[in-house]
Amino acid sequence: MKINGNFLNIAESYLFSMTAKKIREFVAETGKDVIRLSIGDVTLPLPAACVEAMEKASREMGNKATFKGYGEEQGYEFLREKIREYYTAKGVDLSINEIFISDGAKSDLGNILDIFAKDNIVYMSDIVYPVYLDTNIMAGREVKFFEGNAKNSFLPLPDENVKADIIYICSPCNPTGAVYNKEQLKVWVDYANRNGAVILFDAAYEAFIRDKSLPTSIYEIEGAKECAIEICSFSKTAGFTGTRCGYTIVPLDLVRENVALNKLWLRRQTTKFNGVSYIIQRGAEAVFTDEGMKQVRQNIDYYLGNADIMRKTLKEMGIWFVGGDNSPYIWLKCPGGMSSWEYFDFLLSHGVAGTPGVGFGKNGEGFFRLTAFGDRDNVIKAMERFKNAK
């Protein structure tokens, strides 16, 4: 028996597990309370429309006439149809067979790699959500990086001299909160089509985009259906971090080596995945009702209100940052020339926790991520601690 030695090439501890451990140790040693603006987990409860739908579905599961066993392979049609209509409102025409229901974006971002050969070259920003990098290192793939830095506002474009097969793009970006415009995404789409590459487009935070000129789906870009797979989630959109539901779109027009990737993903999912529960899918369906959308927007507005408070504080303090206007994340430059972990320890000593930017890549050194998913009173209190930290 041999282990997969590639696991030894990744960091021993996942970034967010490491920060959580340091926070726990600090609290145990000092007894001080810490306001956490570090983990991107929601704090508001599920929208009432979703809860009511899941309660109704639970009762159905207790009735022989309405009981459900194994679900439909790609997810129940009632949910996929609502997602299709959601995209129609964006001006994007999808077939219901291009939509696959999953238990969240994080799972699919790793699982989608099953349909690609090991020798594909992967291209991603060096400021990156760790799951992109770690899952490819686990598989033993070669990874190349494009430069995300303050000069390009952390919205890097491809290097035409680099040949890549799989490209990761997240917009709005985790961790920087930066959002690509249509012209910038068109550069990526054209690059992918010229190189025969596939873009894995992480749209988990698309519902936070308030600027109507910015795209919320890569399929708003001409040519994207021939090169892109879009992965989205209800976790941040509707607070499903604890209930788990998302979806992946694999266009029928996306073909490589004369094989439709939609067919491969369907085969993979029917072999390795038994679907999301009926109860949860009914809850996700309720997101798209009039009342559900209203409640979702209220929750997102609340989080963006938190971000606005944080942005105003950072401006007052003269700290450089991006994000927070169309995203729940704010990416700031550590003041006083501090390193990412030095600033983490400094803020922690004043009762505030964030995430060290270096944990997202070498270009993250000297930067720091804050999330707007906290309680409003705690955010206000944390910003007061920011101002008083010396």
Residue 302 CB neighbours (<10 A): 15
20 and 58 belong to one structural domain = no
Asked if residue 256 has pLDDT above 90, the reply is: yes
Tens digit of each residue's pLDDT (9 = 90 or more) over 17-35: 788 889 999 999 999 999 9
If one counts the domains in the chain, the total is 2
1 in any annotated domain: no
In this structure, what DSSP letter does residue 280 have?
H
Tens digit of each residue's pLDDT (9 = 90 or more) over 145-176: 998 998 999 999 999 999 999 999 999 999 99
Work out the average pLDDT over 299-316.
97
116 and 254 belong to one structural domain = yes
Asked if residue 389 has pLDDT above 90, the reply is: no
Asked if residue 133 has pLDDT above 70, the reply is: yes
pLDDT, residue 13, reads 64
Q: Of 257, 288, 319, at which residue does a domain stop?
A: 288
Q: Of 257, 273, 288, at which residue does a domain stop?
A: 288
122 and 159 belong to one structural domain = yes
Contact partners, residue 287, CB within 8 Å, separation at least 6: 47, 49, 50, 82, 234, 237, 238, 293, 296
201 and 299 belong to one structural domain = no
Handedness of CA 175, 177, 178, 179 (dihedral sign): positive
Tens digit of each residue's pLDDT (9 = 90 or more) over 172-183: 999 999 999 999
C-beta of residue 205 within 8 angstroms of C-beta of residue 236: yes
Tokens 């590459």 belong to residue: 197
84 and 231 belong to one structural domain = yes
176 and 244 belong to one structural domain = yes
Q: How big is the CA angle at 194 (ends 206 and 132), to the nearest 5 degrees?
A: 45
Tens digit of each residue's pLDDT (9 = 90 or more) over 359-383: 999 999 999 999 999 999 999 999 9
Asked if residue 217 has pLDDT above 90, the reply is: yes
282 and 296 belong to one structural domain = no
236 and 323 belong to one structural domain = no
320 and 172 belong to one structural domain = no
pLDDT, residue 382, reads 96
C-beta of residue 188 within 8 angstroms of C-beta of residue 224: no
- End-to-end alpha carbon distance in the chain: 55
CA distance 379 to 121: 41
Tell me, what CATH number does 368's domain have? 3.90.1150.10
- Residue 377 has phi, psi (to 5 degrees) of -60, -40
5 in any annotated domain: no
Q: Of 288, 304, 334, at which residue does a domain stop?
A: 288
53 and 130 belong to one structural domain = yes
- Full residue range of the structural domain in which residue 71 is found: 48-288
The tokens of 229 are what?
Answer: 């797979």
What is the pTM (predicted TM-score) of this model?
0.95
Beta strands in the chain (DSSP E): 35-36, 99-102, 121-125, 142-146, 166-170, 198-202, 228-233, 246-249, 255-256, 259-260, 321-323, 329-333, 352-353, 355-356, 367-371
- Residue 325 has phi, psi (to 5 degrees) of -95, -40
Q: Helices then strands (H, E): number in the chain?
A: 12, 15
Please report which confidence band the pLDDT of residue 12 belongs to, taking 50, 70 and 90 as the band edges.
low
The tokens of 276 are what?
Answer: 């999301």
Asked if residue 239 has pLDDT above 80, the reply is: yes
194 and 307 belong to one structural domain = no
Asked if residue 130 has pLDDT above 90, the reply is: no
